[in-house]
Amino acid sequence: MAVVHQYLEFEKPIAELEGKIEELRRLSDPEGINIAEEVARLSEKVERVLRTTYAKLTPWQKAQVARHPERPKARSYIEALITDFTPLAGDRAFADDAAVIGGLGRFNGRSVMAIGTEKGSDTESRLAHNFGMARPEGYRKAERLVALAGRFGLPVLTFVDTAGAFPGIEAEARGQAEAIARSIAALLDAPVPIIATIIGEGGSGGAIALAAGDRVLMLEHAIYSVISPEGCASILWRDAAAAPQAAEALRLTAEDLKRMALIDSVIGEPLGGAHRDPATTIASVREGIAAELGPLAGLDPAMLKARRQEKFLQMGRDLGA
């Protein structure tokens, strides 16, 4: 498992135990202590506490796990899952938006188009990718890549991890809402299979712009919602501190969304979350995508489009009933 450098508030007992383990491993003079035995005992205790803690996470705690800074990002999935990847840039209208990455490659030997919202993994890359919050040119790039995939009959794989579209004035001036709508429309009208995976945060229209797929997969501790808990709390309770209460009301967990048939499948995460074992998480995502892509690959393009559009129309009917 990967070494965790940042612990969440509710993980303090785990942090203390793992801190003790590190201290023991650094001891040069054990003074009669059987270090291996003590480390094994503490490691077992860490696993027990992890299991107990993660078995009863609240929606707000899941939101924190989904946002963990060490959680694997879209680039990590694309680099691991897509071979011979060739990045494509620009919207052919204004600029390239680094918050949306995408390009051609092969998934398990099959040619695909891969697109993702990239948050960045350190301060420099987070600033470069605008924390995964795309501007209109990002969504227009996604629209262009989906159209290109349709032209060449390539399945589209998307990896969603964004708090939402960038809300700045310049983004609004360049047609943010219209760009999101066109990206959603491009996905719904694509004549090729589309599999979307929510790998972290799925925030508002900025997420749906890349998630309107034939199959929508979601990691166990990811979240997917029309608004962030903080935003919802600020509107309904006039206080962002009510975010935990808002998270409960939003039904943003994978379990809730699967129950409401708003997503198709939940992909399990390693004990303690994806950030504790990125390689195992990415391998699970590979299996999940492969299982869904096979049955879709042989479907007639017209049938694919009709089924996909009906799927999303049905969500509205069901929720409005």
pLDDT beyond 80 at 69: yes
* pLDDT value, residue 36: 78
> Alpha helix (H) ranges present in 131-175?
136-152, 169-173
CB neighbours of residue 317 within 10 Å:
8
Contact between residue 201 and residue 222 where contact means Cβ atoms under 8 Å apart: yes
Q: Where does the pLDDT of residue 33 fall: very low under 50, low under 70, confident under 90, or very high at 90 and above?
A: low
* pLDDT value, residue 18: 84
- State the maximum Cα–Cα separation within the chain, in Å, rounded to a whole number: 74
Tokens of 21: 């383990």
pLDDT beyond 70 at 31: no
pLDDT beyond 70 at 1: no
Contact between residue 134 and residue 174 where contact means Cβ atoms under 8 Å apart: no
* pLDDT value, residue 298: 84
Mapped onto helix, strand or coil, the DSSP state of residue 217 is strand
What lies within 8 Å, CB to CB, of 320 at 6+ separation is none
What lies within 8 Å, CB to CB, of 28 at 6+ separation is none
Average pLDDT over residues 300-307: 94
Q: What is the DSSP letter of 109?
A: T
pLDDT beyond 80 at 28: no
Q: Regarding predicted confidence, which is higher, 218 or 21?
A: 218
pLDDT digits (tens, 9 = 90+) for 76-98: 999 999 999 999 999 999 999 99
Nearest-angstrom CA–CA distance, 238 and 63: 20
Please report how many Cα atoms fall inside a 13 Å half-sphere around the Cα of residue 256, on the Cβ side: 15
Nearest-angstrom CA–CA distance, 265 and 88: 29
* pLDDT value, residue 32: 55
Average pLDDT of the chain, as a whole number? 92
Nearest-angstrom CA–CA distance, 202 and 71: 14
Amino acid of residue 48: R
pLDDT beyond 70 at 34: no
Q: Partners of 115 in the beta sheet?
A: 102, 158
Nearest-angstrom CA–CA distance, 212 and 2: 32
Of 200, 209, 288, the C-alpha closest to 252 is 200
CB neighbours of residue 315 within 10 Å:
13
pLDDT beyond 80 at 25: no
Average pLDDT over residues 141-161: 97
Of 78, 93, 119, the C-alpha closest to 182 is 93
Q: Where does the pLDDT of residue 48 fall: very low under 50, low under 70, confident under 90, or very high at 90 and above?
A: very high
Contact between residue 275 and residue 67 where contact means Cβ atoms under 8 Å apart: no
* pLDDT value, residue 250: 95
* pLDDT value, residue 206: 93
Measured N-to-C along each axis, helices 136-152 and 204-211 cross at an angle, to the nearest 10 degrees, of 10
Of 205, 150, 158, 157, the C-alpha closest to 182 is 205
